[in-house]
Amino acid sequence: MQHLLFGAFLIAGTVSWSGDVHNQIGFMAEQFLEPYTVSVLEHILEPQYNGSIGRAAAWADGYAHTDEGRFSYQWHWIDAHDYPPERCDLFYNRDCATGGCVVSAIANQTDILKGCIADVKDGSLANGANLTCSYALKWVSHFLGDIAQPLHASGRAAGGNFYRVRFDNISTELHAVWDHYIPYFAANATTSFSNQSIAPFFKYLVSRIRKDLFWEAPYMWLSCSEPTTVVECATRWARESNKWTCDYVYSRVNQSNDLATDGYAVGGVPIVELQISKAALRLATWLNKLVGAEEKQYVPVEQVEL
C-alpha cells in the first residue's frame, strides 16, 4: 500500500529535481554557510524569503514557466550531443545552445552576483531592493542543483523526457524518475518535503558530509570550486553528471520492468544521495567564496567532533 500512495503522490511532481528537493538542497547548503555570508546574502534576497536560500531555491522553475521568464527555460540543462550508454561526453563549446545553458547561466548569474555582493558591502544595496540581484542569487542557488542531476547534462531523448518507463506501476518518463521518484524513494517519503526548513533525510545527508561517509570524499567535490573559473568548474560538474548517464542511468534501465521494484531505484539511491550532497556543499562553498568569508568552508572528518 505504501508504494501505491508513493506513486499517486508523485504524479503531481514538478520537474528539475522536485521543487521541494531544490528547497532542501538550499537548506543543506545553509548548514555550511559562514555567518558573514549569511549576513550579506540576506540583503540580496527579497524580504519574503527571510534570508533563506533554501526557501528561494525552487523559484527558478516556476519563473521559467511564466511569460516573463520563459527566456530562462533552457538555462536549466545542457544537452550533451552524445548517446548514452554507448558514448558519454560533454563539451561546453559544442553543447551549450544559442540562448544559453546551465553552464553559461551559472557563469552569467555568478558574475552579476559578484557585483551585488559588492553593493551590499558598500551599503548601496539592502533588504532585497534590487530584483536583478535577488534573481541572480536564486538562479545560482537553483542551477547548482540542476547541474548535479544526471539528465540535466544529457541530450538523449531530451534529457530522458521522451524515454517512457514505469515506476511503481505509474507510466512516466526517465527524467521524472531522477527528478523526484528516486529522491522520494530514498527518503521513504509519501508526502512532500518542507519548503520552510530542512527535512530529516537531508539532515542525514548533511551529517554524512560532515563525517565523510560517502564513497567519494567530500573534499574531492571541491577540487574545482573557484568563482573565478566559473565555466571550467561548471563544465566539470556537468561532465560528472553526464558520466552517470553511461555508468547507470541508461545502462541499467529496462523499459519492460517496473523501476521501483526491479532494483533500478535501489541502485539509483546512492547516486542521488551523492549528487544532491555535492550540489549542497558546492553551493555553500561557492557563496562563501563569492562573499569572501575567511573561515574554512569545509572541515575534514578528522577535525569534526563526532
Given this model, what pLDDT does residue 5 score?
36
**Residue indicated by cell numbers 557585483:** 115
| pLDDT tens readout for residues 45-73 | 999 999 999 999 999 999 999 999 999 99
Given this model, what pLDDT does residue 180 score?
93
Which segments of the chain does DSSP mark as H helices, in order? 2-10, 19-30, 35-41, 53-56, 59-64, 92-95, 102-121, 131-146, 157-160, 174-176, 182-187, 200-210, 218-221, 230-244, 264-291
Cα distance between residue 154 and residue 135, in whole Å? 26
Average pLDDT over the chain reads 92
Given this model, what pLDDT does residue 293 score?
72
Which residue, among 54, 65, 45, has the nearest Cα to 113 in the 3D structure?
45
Given this model, what pLDDT does residue 296 score?
43
Given this model, what pLDDT does residue 292 score?
95
Read off the pTM. 0.91
| pLDDT tens readout for residues 238-266 | 999 999 999 999 999 999 999 999 999 99
Q: How far is CA 236 from the centre of its chain?
A: 15
15 near 181, Cβ under 8 Å?
Answer: no
Q: How far apart are the first and last CA of the chain?
A: 38
* Beta-ladder partners of 172: 165
Burial of 131 (0-12, 13-18, 19+ CB in 10 A): exposed
Residues of the chain with pLDDT under 50: 1-15, 295-306
Given this model, what pLDDT does residue 18 score?
83
Which domains does the chain possess? 2-293 (1.10.575.10)
